[in-house]
């Protein structure tokens, strides 16, 4: 995530080959300030020059319509026909629905319940966009849903729903009956229209409780039909955001709908209808009564999902930014930025670059956009020389040291964007010494940390708009303190290396290899809180696969102090492929290649030949503290759907637990391509193909187990001592279909024997051989879910001589 932030900033300064071309900001007089231009009514409510048109405009199609006297559009006087539309006409395919959601739909359908997709996912499917998530509604009671999915949880008091867990994914399932009981009281004029059946009536009543018409569409995948009872398709065609009931009444019922209206308009490029726009402006002060956590959630939806720039423009246009983000509103006022201004500035440029890197199905972490706000605020408070800013961004964007970053920034001849007042207009620092620029970079980092604290200072926020008495007062604080602390740590300090020695001065507590994020198929890696004192806790999931390994092959990696456990010339090896979503190093992936089993009385355990991680911090810690042969690598993941195979009843008992070859139904094929990173170079190591199976026992994850694993490490160039440490595992485990491992390098390595690994060729052979231990026929594969691994600090058992 650091690289995203710095690449956004770096691009904004005009010092990168990928820099954007920005518009010149306008600096108007005080009479042009937006507070003197407020009017009671507005016309078109789209964001001028800020929001692109929808990617796929919904064209008129053939549709089956029925007009009922009781079905009126809430804010129009004419009747609104109910429509039953063919999903094929919208280009909606069942394959666009994820397997996890399809599984939930199919199981409820098989139990005899009616089941539909509802809300924003239907809207996005019609617009050919990727939905953020998929919501399911069913005629089943929530208790009945729980019988179908025993592991699901019923959450919420006012509006209870079921969280159905499919692997690591949560599918939200609501019930028509629950919605009817917890919804608003029905109108006296709401009658069942003559000639409609019970199912239509139930669907219609539920749609009337929705917030916006474009969210009131239902899709029945089994019938391939889209139901439109309140004119949602018409508003999609017209690119309008319209409330189901009268706009003012709707916003009074749920004030958060004001922010959802802005979010939908920004994400889809739609405009607000006239009554919605007027109500947003008139009821803007009611946002002060919302819970801060709800505000934070809605702002995160705006800024972290690919529509940040458009959201900021709309917040500013409708006068909401002064209430929610007064510090940023003060900046726009000082820039002479008008309500409908289509030009840009540095704040909007930073978030425009963020939008290029994230999407609704691939959002960034909350602390990233908070970091951008703090970064920009620091430059507003004290403009910096472009060379200093570029050096700072390069130091956290790439793997170069601070001195190298300064050299690159000083050598860059490209002119920065002189229209940004956040950058000082002179270039005197380019002639200054490296040490002086380095000091300025460290001061910039400290000023960003100070700016982050201001974002949560109620007194500072209350005075942000004090120079503009016409502006509404607000002291709203909604950012969480733990997230701000992570932002402060992110910009904590700067790492500097001298003559390629590991001489650390105050350093960034988290450095991420930017090469890991150049491919969009790599998941975002979050910042960590840093390794504290042991024990260290890692949480996530893993695949542990055991192979037969030739004893002669394994001995090449095992220290002479240990005896290899073997039988008939073979030992047990394999690999441990883990994905951690919570650890001292944040979110990262790890591949541990196991060469064989070693014996050191009274303990035996597996010996790791290679450890590959896509985290600089985890690699450094593994080398220095635990004595592991850790290397930085790139994990590129690609998931493709696999058709179902015909069932085979043979070996039924074993196959029902995922051990068979034909009973399981492979749902997805995930291919993980692992490449070792060495500076600017990378070398492909291996490809691992993993099938996601659905067994007879459905979503069963296996029994919960606890075990302690003693482990040996060390004997590397980073830690020459032989070490012993222990791992305590708590997880759910079940056998699964073995993964297929293919060698990226096909040089022969079978006849490798002990030799002096001093030449580059010998080191290459060792690298290839350590991966080759996985390539024998697998014995068994175990899937670890809900994994919690506690690693104790190692102790020295054999000091190096």
Report the C-alpha gap between 404 and 706 in whole angstroms: 48
Average pLDDT, stretch 116-130?
92
What 3-state class would DSSP assign to 624?
helix
Residue 103 confidence (pLDDT) above 80: yes
Q: Which two tokens stand for residue 14?
A: 């005009």
pLDDT at 467: 77
Check residues 559 and 143 and name the one with the higher pLDDT: 143
Could you check whether the bond before residue 340 is cis, i.e. omega within 30 degrees of 0? no
Question: What letter does residue 193 receive in the DSSP assignment?
Answer: P
Q: How far is CA 708 from CA 182, 310, 593, 602, 723, in A?
A: 48, 52, 19, 15, 17
Residues 556 and 688 in one domain: yes
Q: Which helix (H) or strand (E) holds 670?
A: strand 665-678
Average pLDDT, stretch 667-678?
79
Q: Which two tokens stand for residue 156?
A: 């919420």
Residues 285 and 413 in one domain: yes
pLDDT at 775: 64
In tens, the pLDDT along 205-238 reads 899 989 999 999 999 999 999 999 999 999 999 9
User: What range does the domain containing 474 cover?
Assistant: 2-52+248-490
* Contacts of the segment 244-247: beta carbons below 8 A, 24+ positions apart: 244/74, 244/207, 244/208, 244/209, 244/210, 244/211, 244/212, 244/213, 244/216, 245/74, 245/75, 245/208, 246/74, 246/75, 246/275, 247/75, 247/273, 247/275, 247/276, 247/278, 247/279, 247/280
Structural domain contains residue 523: no
CA 282 to chain centre: 35
Question: Hey, which of 56-70, 99-113, 636-650 has the most confident mean pLDDT?
Answer: 99-113
pLDDT at 607: 86
For the ranges 212-226, 295-309, 709-723, the lowest mean pLDDT is seen at 709-723
Q: Which two tokens stand for residue 393?
A: 């961004």
| pLDDT category of residue 619 using cuts at 50, 70 and 90 | confident
Report the C-alpha gap between 595 and 610 in whole angstroms: 8
pLDDT at 492: 66
Kindly report the backbone phi and psi dihedral angles of residue 178, in degrees, each rounded to the nearest multiple of 5, phi listed first.
Answer: -65, -40
Structural domain contains residue 181: yes
Pick from 517, 452, 437: nearest CA to 491:
452
Residues 266 and 413 in one domain: yes
Structural domain contains residue 58: no
Residues 457 and 348 in one domain: yes
Give one DSSP letter per residue of 389-457, joined into a string.
HHHHHHHHHSS--HHHHHHHHHH--PPP-TT-TTB-S--GGGGS-HHHHHHHHHHHHHHHHHHHHHTT-
| pLDDT category of residue 471 using cuts at 50, 70 and 90 | confident
Q: What is the CATH number of the domain that holds 687?
A: 2.40.400.10
For the ranges 156-170, 216-230, 291-305, 666-680, the lowest mean pLDDT is seen at 666-680
Alpha helix segments (H runs only) across 695-779: 760-772
pLDDT at 500: 37
Report the C-alpha gap between 9 and 15 in whole angstroms: 10
Check residues 750 and 2 and name the one with the higher pLDDT: 2
Give one DSSP letter per residue of 203-259, joined into a string.
HHHHHHTSSBGGG-EEEETTTTEEEESSSHHHHHHHTEE-BSS-HHHHHHH-THHHH
Q: Which two tokens stand for residue 701?
A: 């994850």
Average pLDDT, stretch 498-526?
35
Structural domain contains residue 520: no
pLDDT at 800: 58
Kindly report the backbone phi and psi dihedral angles of residue 783, in degrees, each rounded to the nearest multiple of 5, phi listed first.
Answer: -100, 125
Residues 286 and 335 in one domain: yes
E runs forming strands in 273-385 = none
Check residues 726 and 759 and name the one with the higher pLDDT: 726
On the 0-12 / 13-18 / 19+ scale of CB atoms within 10 A, 458 is: exposed
Average pLDDT, stretch 660-674?
62
In tens, the pLDDT along 318-373 reads 999 999 999 999 999 998 999 998 889 999 999 999 999 898 888 988 989 999 99
Structural domain contains residue 507: no
Residue 506 confidence (pLDDT) above 80: no
- Of all residues in the chain, what percent carry a pLDDT higher than 90? 28
| pLDDT category of residue 315 using cuts at 50, 70 and 90 | very high
Residues 691 and 719 in one domain: yes
Question: Hey, which of 134-138, 153-157, 643-647, 726-730 has the most confident mean pLDDT?
Answer: 134-138
How many separate domains does the chain show?
3
Report the C-alpha gap between 353 and 742 in whole angstroms: 37
How, if at all, do strands 153-155 and 603-613 pair?
unpaired
Residue 307 confidence (pLDDT) above 50: yes
Check residues 675 and 111 and name the one with the higher pLDDT: 111
In tens, the pLDDT along 364-373 reads 889 899 999 9
Residues 307 and 167 in one domain: no
- Which of 238, 262, 281 terminates a domain? The answer is 238
CA 220 to chain centre: 29
Q: What is the CA radius of gyration of the chain?
A: 30
Residues 252 and 223 in one domain: no
What 3-state class would DSSP assign to 90?
helix
Residues 596 and 684 in one domain: yes
For residues 309 and 50, the answer to whether their CB atoms sit within 8 Å is yes
Q: What is the mean pLDDT of the chain?
A: 76
pLDDT at 323: 93
Structural domain contains residue 515: no
In tens, the pLDDT along 488-501 reads 877 765 544 333 33
Whether the CA torsion 343, 345, 347, 351 is positive or negative: it is positive
Packing angle of the helix pair 2-12, 386-397 (nearest 10 deg): 150
Q: What is the CATH number of the domain that holds 463?
A: 1.10.3090
Average pLDDT, stretch 175-202?
68
Could you check whether the bond before residue 789 is cis, i.e. omega within 30 degrees of 0? no
Structural domain contains residue 581: yes
Residue 605 confidence (pLDDT) above 60: yes
Residue 625 confidence (pLDDT) above 80: yes
Question: What letter does residue 729 receive in the DSSP assignment?
Answer: E
Packing angle of the helix pair 326-334, 346-355 (nearest 10 deg): 120
E runs forming strands in 737-800 = 740-743, 778-791, 795-798
pLDDT at 414: 66
What 3-state class would DSSP assign to 576?
strand
For the ranges 123-137, 259-273, 574-588, 647-661, the lowest mean pLDDT is seen at 647-661
In the chain the first and final C-alpha atoms are separated, in Å, by 42
Cα atoms found within 13 Å of the Cα of residue 93, Cβ hemisphere only: 4
> Within 10 A of 799 (CB to CB), how many other CB atoms are there?
9
Check residues 63 and 530 and name the one with the higher pLDDT: 530
> Within 10 A of 40 (CB to CB), how many other CB atoms are there?
7
Q: Which two tokens stand for residue 518?
A: 């150049």
Average pLDDT, stretch 560-567?
85
Q: What is the CATH number of the domain that holds 167?
A: 3.30.460.10
Residue 782 confidence (pLDDT) above 70: yes
- Which of 238, 263, 282 terminates a domain? The answer is 238
Check residues 525 and 301 and name the one with the higher pLDDT: 301
On the 0-12 / 13-18 / 19+ scale of CB atoms within 10 A, 117 is: buried
Residues 121 and 182 in one domain: yes
pLDDT at 394: 82
What 3-state class would DSSP assign to 752?
coil
- Which of 212, 238, 264 terminates a domain? The answer is 238
Q: Which two tokens stand for residue 597?
A: 């089993």
In tens, the pLDDT along 22-66 reads 333 333 333 333 333 333 333 333 333 333 333 344 444 444 444
Question: Hey, which of 332-346, 426-440, 681-695 has the most confident mean pLDDT?
Answer: 332-346
Average pLDDT, stretch 669-680?
79
In tens, the pLDDT along 409-425 reads 888 756 667 778 888 86
Structural domain contains residue 243: no
pLDDT at 14: 42
Residues 226 and 123 in one domain: yes
pLDDT at 761: 52
Residues 180 and 272 in one domain: no
């Amino acid at each position: 995530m650091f690289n995203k932030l710095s690449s956004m900033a770096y691009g904004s300064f005009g010092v990168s080959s990928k820099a954007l071309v920005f518009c010149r900001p306008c600096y108007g007089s005080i009479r042009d300030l937006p507070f003197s231009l407020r009017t009671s009514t507005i016309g078109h409510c789209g964001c001028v020059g800020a929001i692109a048109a929808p990617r796929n405009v919904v064209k008129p199609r053939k549709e089956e319509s029925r007009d009922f006297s009781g079905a009126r559009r809430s804010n129009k006087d004419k009747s609104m026909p109910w429509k039953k539309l063919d999903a094929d006409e919208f280009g909606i395919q069942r394959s666009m629905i994820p397997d996890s959601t399809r599984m939930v739909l199919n199981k409820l359908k098989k139990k005899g319940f009616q089941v539909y997709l509802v809300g924003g996912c239907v809207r996005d499917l019609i617009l050919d966009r990727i939905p953020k998530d998929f919501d399911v509604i069913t005629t089943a009671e929530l208790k009945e849903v729980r019988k179908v999915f025993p592991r699901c949880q019923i959450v919420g008091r006012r509006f209870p729903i079921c969280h159905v867990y499919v692997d690591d994914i949560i599918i939200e399932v609501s019930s028509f009956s629950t919605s009817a009981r917890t919804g608003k009281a029905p109108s006296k004029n709401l009658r069942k229209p003559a000639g409609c059946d019970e199912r239509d009536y139930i669907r219609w009543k539920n749609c009337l409780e929705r917030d916006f018409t474009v969210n009131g569409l239902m899709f029945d995948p089994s019938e391939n039909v889209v139901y439109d009872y309140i004119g949602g398709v018409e508003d999609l065609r017209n690119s309008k955001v319209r409330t189901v009931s009268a706009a003012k009444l709707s916003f009074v019922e749920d004030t958060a709908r004001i922010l959802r209206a802005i979010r939908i308009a920004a994400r889809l490029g739609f405009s607000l209808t006239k009554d919605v726009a007027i109500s947003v402006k008139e009821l803007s002060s009611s946002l002060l009564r919302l819970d801060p956590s709800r505000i934070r959630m809605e702002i995160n939806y705006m800024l972290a999902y690919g529509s940040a720039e458009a959201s900021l423009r709309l917040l500013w246009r409708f006068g909401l930014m002064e209430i929610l983000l007064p510090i940023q509103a003060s900046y726009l006022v000082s820039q002479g930025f008008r309500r409908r201004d289509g030009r840009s500035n540095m704040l909007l440029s930073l978030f425009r670059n963020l939008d290029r890197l994230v999407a609704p199905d691939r959002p960034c972490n909350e602390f990233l956009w908070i970091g951008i706000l703090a970064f920009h605020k620091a430059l507003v408070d004290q403009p910096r020389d472009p060379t200093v800013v570029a050096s700072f961004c390069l130091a956290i964007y790439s793997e170069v040291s601070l001195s190298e970053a300064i050299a690159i920034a000083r050598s860059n001849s490209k002119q920065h964007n002189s229209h940004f007042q956040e950058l000082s207009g002179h270039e005197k620092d380019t002639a200054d010494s490296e040490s002086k620029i380095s000091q300025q970079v460290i001061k910039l980092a400290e000023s960003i940390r100070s700016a982050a604290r201001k974002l949560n200072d109620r007194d500072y926020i209350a005075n942000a708009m004090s120079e503009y008495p016409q502006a509404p007062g607000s002291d709203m604080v909604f950012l969480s303190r733990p997230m701000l602390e992570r932002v402060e740590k992110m910009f904590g300090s700067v790492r500097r290396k001298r003559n390629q020695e590991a001489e650390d001065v105050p350093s960034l507590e988290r450095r991420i290899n930017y090469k890991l994020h150049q491919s969009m198929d790599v998941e975002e890696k979050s910042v960590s809180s840093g390794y504290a004192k042991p024990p260290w806790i890692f949480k996530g999931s893993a695949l542990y696969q055991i192979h037969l390994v030739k004893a002669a092959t394994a001995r090449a990696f095992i220290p002479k102090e240990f005896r290899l456990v073997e039988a008939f010339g073979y030992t047990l090896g394999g690999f441990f492929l883990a994905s951690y979503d919570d650890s001292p190093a944040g979110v990262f992936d790890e591949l541990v290649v196991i060469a064989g089993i070693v014996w050191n009385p009274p303990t035996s355990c597996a010996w790791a030949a290679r450890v590959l991680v896509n985290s600089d911090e985890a690699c450094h810690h593994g080398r220095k503290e635990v004595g592991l042969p850790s290397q930085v690598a790139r994990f590129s993941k690609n998931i493709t759907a696999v058709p179902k195979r015909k069932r085979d009843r043979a070996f039924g008992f074993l196959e029902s637990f995922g051990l068979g070859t034909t009973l399981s139904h492979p749902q997805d094929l995930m291919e993980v391509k692992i490449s070792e990173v060495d500076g600017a170079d990378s070398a492909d190591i291996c490809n691992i193909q993993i099938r996601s199976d659905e067994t007879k026992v459905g979503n069963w994850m296996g029994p919960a187990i606890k075990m302690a694993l003693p482990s040996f490490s060390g004997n590397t160039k980073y830690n020459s001592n032989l070490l012993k440490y222990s791992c305590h595992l708590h997880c759910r485990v079940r056998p699964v279909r073995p993964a297929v491992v293919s060698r990226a390098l096909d040089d022969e390595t079978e006849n490798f024997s002990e030799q002096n690994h001093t030449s580059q060729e010998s080191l290459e052979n060792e690298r290839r051989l350590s991966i080759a231990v996985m390539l024998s026929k697998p014995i068994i594969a175990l899937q670890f879910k809900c994994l919690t691994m506690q690693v104790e600090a190692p102790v020295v058992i054999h000091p190096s001589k």
